């Protein structure tokens, strides 16, 4: 009976806010509001996670167009490099054919006068320099490695070679362009090709 009276007295005083119970009532109200707000926040998080997010796969046409653009850019850069190198070869060829002799050693006037006079017995004479024959460099064709297959000791590759064809199955020792090009080695990550005495390593893929 006494406990019930004390509980009723505490509840009544807390609600009425008598004496020091006013501060306690404010704390209780603040805790109640905070708990309500936290429960609402958790409920909102639950609802947000329950909403399905649609997944949109990229269109295959877009991927194909990007690969085509990348391939066109690669071919264009290769063609530009080839054009610049060919122009350099043409300029060097014109210099040599024009008898400008840029690599011939020059002599002073005293040496030229001594050369013009009859050589004395036992005197050293200047030898005429020999200009090596100029051989224009032949540019390699555009080559791509589509795929490589290595099974035990057998290795094959599928390549596209400019002027030869596309989707060509090649093995070690395969030659093209009249023997100018030759496949030296086929590995899992690259194909080694020899062109005019120079080695080229081509990785598979675009």
Please name which of 153, 146, 150, 143 lies closest in space to residue 187, comparing C-alpha atoms.
150
pLDDT score for 5: 44
Give the domain ranges of the chain.
2-50, 57-97, 143-202
pLDDT for the residue 185 = 92
Q: What is the pLDDT of residue 24?
A: 75
- Position 112 scores a pLDDT of 62
* Alpha-carbon Rg for the chain in angstroms: 44
Measured between alpha carbons, how far apart are the two ends of the chain, in Å? 91
- Confidence (pLDDT) at 135: 59
Taking alpha carbons only, the member of 156, 143, 144, 142 closest to residue 188 is 156
pLDDT at site 172? 92
Query: What is the model's pLDDT at position 121?
Result: 47
Tell me the C-alpha distance between 180 and 184, whole Å.
12
- Residue owning tokens 């004390």: 6
- State which residues of the chain have pLDDT below 50: 1-2, 5-7, 121-122
Q: Please tell me the predicted confidence (pLDDT) of residue 174.
A: 94
Mention every residue, 6+ apart, whose C-beta is less than 8 A from residue 80.
Answer: none
Angle between helices 21-50 and 2-16 (to 10 degrees): 80
Residues written for the chain: 206
Looking at 1.10.443, 2.60.120, 3.40.50, 2.30.30, the CATH number of the domain 143-202 comes to 2.30.30
* Residue-level pLDDT at 115: 62
Please tell me the predicted confidence (pLDDT) of residue 126: 52
């Amino acid at each position: 009976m006494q406990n019930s009276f004390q509980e009723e007295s505490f509840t009544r005083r807390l609600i009425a806010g008598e004496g020091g119970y006013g501060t306690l009532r404010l704390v209780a109200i603040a805790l109640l509001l905070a708990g309500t707000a936290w429960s609402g926040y958790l409920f909102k998080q639950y609802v947000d996670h329950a909403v399905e997010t649609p997944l949109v796969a990229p269109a295959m046409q877009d991927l194909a167009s990007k690969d085509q653009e990348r391939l066109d850019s690669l071919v264009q850069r290769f063609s530009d490099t080839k054009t610049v190198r060919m122009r350099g070869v043409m300029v060097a060829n014109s210099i040599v054919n024009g008898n400008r002799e840029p690599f011939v050693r020059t002599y002073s006037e005293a040496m030229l006068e001594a050369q013009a006079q009859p050589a004395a017995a036992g005197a050293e004479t200047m030898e005429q320099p020999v200009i090596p024959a100029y051989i224009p460099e032949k540019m390699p064709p555009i080559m791509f490695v589509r795929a490589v297959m290595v099974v035990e000791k057998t290795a094959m590759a599928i390549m596209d070679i400019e002027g030869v064809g596309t989707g060509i199955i090649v093995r070690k020792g395969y030659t093209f362009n009249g023997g100018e090009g030759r496949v030296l080695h086929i590995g899992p990550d690259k194909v080694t090709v020899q062109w005019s005495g120079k080695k080229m390593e081509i990785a598979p893929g675009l």
